[in-house]
Structure 1
Amino acid sequence: MPWSRQPETAMGRRMKIGIIWKNDFPWDVRVEKIARSLLAIGHDVYILSANTQRRARYETLDGMGIRRLPATPSRWLNAVISIPFYLNPFWFLFASQVVRRERIDLIIVRDLPLILVGLWLKRSFRVPLILDMAENYPAMYREALDIGGWRACVYLIAKNPKIMEFVERQTLGSVDHILVVVEESAERLMRLGIPGGRLSVVSNTPRLEDLDRPAILEHRPHSWLQLIYTGLVQEARGLEVVVRALHLLRERGLDVRFRIVGGGNYLSRLVEMVREKGLQDAVEFTGWVAHQEVASHVNDADVGVIPHPKNDHTDTTIPNKLFDYMACGRPVVVSSAAPLERIVTQERCGLVFTAGSPENLADVLARMSADGAAREEMGRNGAKAVRRRFHWERDAGALRDAVARFA
């Protein structure tokens, strides 16, 4: 049952808000930004997270109450306990205990895998439920099947897109409000029958307070065109298209280099491809770096690249890195995935290439290489757009408005 009424905040009743996050915390940039924004307006925030690293079950971190799943000495059993599977009983029991003990007033579930836990809490404790839908999970799971390999077998069993699509269709109508990261995602949900009044766009944008922090590396002019990609290195990210484009540009006599900041399960294959193409001197792999160092690498580049394929997943989500590149004043080259093409075209902050085409990407990069003045103008346009529109303070306002409905 609902708990006794809490004191007022600037935007209504002070609430105890539980954010259910399927992975270990720390750290996730979006979870942290949402939590801090809600703390800033007077709410108490508890993050219910996995615990594969066997951390303390109860912790306070910068004002956020962290509540973790129980851990065991067995690494294997720990992983099983933390699996964000629809019907994992450990998540149901753990979340129920936290909601009862902390007297939670509002639940925010991050993404679909744990939506059934959220609905269980909503009905058991009569508390409102918000779904933070950062990804189009049915499409993301289909994408893994399309890629093939042994991971496709895993996805067919544990992350079946048909099951996820069924769960999505059966549960979204029972959620009180849904946060999405981009307009195209909201449009998809409205086509599924979700009223627009129950949707809010809260995108993955940078905080204005972070934009003026000095970088470790300052941008310096290059005699070549320096590209950068930051984030996960997976087959689904389209990075092999950039490598093939670089090979074509080298045949044309153009010096274009590529720095990949991040890691993932496709890294070894990409390193092999670079070696096969004889591009070892043109492609640099840094591996993972501290989050606060990413902007330094972006500042040292001439162009930020997002080569994602175009599919149902990438057409309904938006990568953080687009706004990170723009915030640093770097022009971007992006694929023709719908949100990327729309934003870059509207803001005139870069160029778009046909997704999956190394030939077209090579042509676009050649244009970028040939016109330094145009690159500078695109970079300025992107930086202005972030300060005007694509920043967290604006998105946090949409978040606060959504939460205030239940305060």
Structure 2
Amino acid sequence: MAVHNGTRTRILVIGGVDVEQEPNHRFFHVVDFLAAHYDEVVFVSTANLYGGPPIGFAQKMLKSFMNVLTDRRKEYRQQNVHHIIVRKLKLPMFLQNLAGDLWIYTVLPGWLKKERFETCIYSFPQTAFVTGLLRRRGVAKKLVYDDCDYFPAHLDAAGKLSAAALTWKERRAATQADGVISVSTPLAALRREQGVKNVIVIPNGVVLDNLTGARQKEPHPPTLLYIGMLSEAWGVDLMLDALPLVREAIPDVHFVIVGDGDYREALEEKARALGLENSVSFCGRKPHSELISYIRQADVGVALYKQREFIHYASPMKVREYMAAGLPVLTTRIGQAEEVIEESNAGELVERTPEAIAAAAIKLLKDDDLRAQYAENAVRYTENADWNSVLEPVLDFINTV
């Protein structure tokens, strides 16, 4: 561990993620875990340049400009975590991916650049430069990269220049580190191919205490549930395409969608076009603490991932959260999601056709005994999936790299 002021332990953590926008992101669980084992965590995160309620373009530009001048950085302490939040500049995606974190380094408080930490843990490839600079300055003796995703395949990599910048930046983030904590076995294999020698696999966990209460069911109609971001890759449209077939067999079936995103309008239009207004509920984004009530009134968790490169490398937090809550899972054959369901026997794996999805959904909704068995298997499989248990090997890894 990092030693400072005698026996007092401290660690520096840098993540390119917004605390307010993504409170359930893996990296915040990493910070909470470290806070339980270190005397102090200094946590640098980012926020959008504006980040307020919808306003006119001119007002937004003026407010963003004022934020750059007067509110570019915020600091506060929460128990033993010292938060430093830096507003990101609104740059073209290519420049943001290539060098946006040079701005972060510029805005960091002067006192931090004079500190000394044994270890800096960082996440997101867009933090590769700032962490490299801090090591060269002597602020961090060694770097550990939390390899939480395969970023070049995400929307941030749209366009050839942006993709090239992010691919190069991610590789630099991994290869400059003394150790890499990869979220999945395929991602760890990729890092080893890139020349990283010290790699450990730490999958995503769950907040088990928050989910065990969801296992007590409340009266409800036959219900399929999706919780998460509404983007094209997550396959919510596949469930909508299959729902008319499900409704033929189970007329009172209901599909509850909890979440938001840029694909929501298209999904709502599809539901209307298919005549599903009375069978589908779009509930919007909800705080993590409110999800229990939705899970208690559901029978099956839906995670119909499409064939996308980043999903191949991902660790399926959504699937594990469904399972920890005692929900059987309906998912597709890709990456770690397929592996988890095969290992646990906690749900159905399907092809991406309306007929296959509908057949599996009907099977799950009509067979109470099968659902009960899958739920039991799911709970058993995730009994050690709490973040504190999953992240425990990180402490030894930090000390030995």
Question: What TM-score, normalized by structure 1, do the two folds share?
Answer: 0.83
The residue number in structure 1 matching 2:278 is 281
Within the candidate set 258, 261, 276, 1:261 is matched to 258
Which residue identity is paired with 1:133? Answer: D
Equivalent residues of 1:139, 1:313 under 8 A apart: yes
Among 296, 299, 304, the residue aligned to 2:301:
304
Cα deviation, residue 94, structure 1: 2.7
Give runs of aligned pairs for residues 6-405 of structure 1, distance below 5 A: 6-8=5-7, 14-26=8-20, 28-29=23-24, 30-52=26-48, 53=51, 57-69=74-86, 79-80=90-91, 85-88=97-100, 89-95=102-108, 97=110, 99-125=112-138, 127-141=141-155, 155-156=158-159, 160-195=162-197, 198-212=198-212, 214=213, 218-222=216-220, 224-252=221-249, 254-354=251-351, 356-387=352-383, 389-405=384-400
Mapped to 1, the partners of 2:3 and 2:309 lie a distance apart of: 44
Which residue pairs with 2:59 in the alignment?
Answer: none
CA distance in 2, matches of 1:338, 1:302: 24
Q: Aligned pair in 2 of structure 1 residues 207, 7: CA closer, same or farther (>3 Å)?
A: farther
Whether contact under 8 Å (1:188, 1:316) holds in the other structure is no
SS of the equivalent of 2:265 reads helix
Separation in 2 of the partners of 1:139 and 1:43? 37
Please report how far the alpha carbon of residue 404 of structure 1 lies from its aligned counterpart in structure 2 after TM superposition. Answer: 2.3
Are the counterparts in 2 of residues 115 and 131 from structure 1 also a CA contact under 8 Å? no
Provide the aligned length of Structure 1 versus Structure 2.
374
**Once the 2 structures are TM-superposed, how far is the Cα of residue 109 of structure 1 from its aligned partner?**
1.5
Letter of the 1:139 partner, please give it.
A
- Judge conservation of contact 2:98–2:165 (CA < 8 Å) in 1: no
CA contact (8 A) 2:12 2:121 kept: yes
Structure 1 pair 85–393 and aligned structure 2 pair: CA distance change class (3 A): same
Structure 1 residues 192 and 357: alpha-carbon distance in aligned structure 2, compared to 1, 3 A threshold: farther
C-alpha distance in structure 1 between counterparts of 2:305 and 2:315, whole Å: 10
Structure 1: gaps of 5 or more residues: 9-13, 71-76, 146-154
Tell me, which stretches of 5 or more residues in structure 2 are unaligned? 52-66
**Are the counterparts in 1 of residues 3 and 117 from structure 2 also a CA contact under 8 Å?**
no
In structure 2, give the amino acid aligned to 1:393.
N
Aligned to 1:149: none
Q: 1:15 to 1:87 in 2, by over 3 A?
A: farther
Q: CA deviation at 1:102?
A: 4.4
For residues 10-30 of structure 1, what are the alpha-carbon distances to aligned partners after superposition, in whole Å with 9 as ceiling and x for unaligned? Answer: xxxx54322222233245332
- SS of equivalent residue, structure 1 residue 200: strand
Whole-angstrom CA distance in 2 between matches of 1:299 and 1:330: 9
Aligned-pair CA distance for 1:7: 3.8
Q: Is the 8 A contact 1:86 1:117 kept in 2?
A: no
Identity %: 23
The answer to whether the 8 Å contact 1:205/1:320 transfers is yes
Work out whether residues 113 and 134 of structure 2, in 8 Å CA contact, stay in contact via their aligned partners in 1. Answer: no
- Tell me, what secondary structure is at the counterpart of 1:228? strand
- Could you give the per-residue CA deviations for residues 35-75 of structure 1, whole angstroms, max 9, x where no partner exists? 121121134111112233467711012321111226xxxxx
Displacement after TM superposition at 1:98 (Å): 5.7
Shift of 1:178: 1.1
Measure how far apart 1:168 and its partner are. Answer: 3.1
Shift of the 254–345 alpha-carbon distance from structure 1 to 2, 3 Å rule, reads farther
